[in-house]
Amino acid sequence: MDSDILYFISFCVEHYKMHKGISGSEAMQLFDKYHVTEYLCDNYEVLHTQGHQWLISEIDDFIQKQAA
């Protein structure tokens, strides 16, 4: 996997865990359960250009859709 994508995923995990008030491990469990990492990788070209607040909202929406 490209190092830019890995950095982007870690950036998203860090911001998501702070947003939710959870640990990095808990954030990764959610990302794994709902395939968020794959979503971020598959859509990297579009997503990495967005601000962190928009990304967090997008991840929340993605998880809600996956959970439904």
- Residue range 10-30, pLDDT digits in tens: 999 999 999 999 999 999 999
pLDDT at 1 > cutoff 80: no
Q: What is the pLDDT of residue 18?
A: 96
Decide: 28 and 14 in contact? Cβ < 8 Å: no
- Domain ranges, residue 47: 3-67
For the stretch 35-66, pLDDT in tens is 999 999 999 999 999 998 999 999 999 999 99
Q: How many domains, the chain? A: 1
What's the pLDDT band for 4 if we cut at 50, 70, 90?
very high
Amino acid at 12: C
pTM above 0.85, yes or no: yes
Here the tokens at position 42 are 């598959």
Phi first, then psi: what are they for 59, rounded to 5°?
-65, -45
Residue 12 CB-density burial (10 A; 0-12 exposed, 13-18 middle, 19+ buried): buried
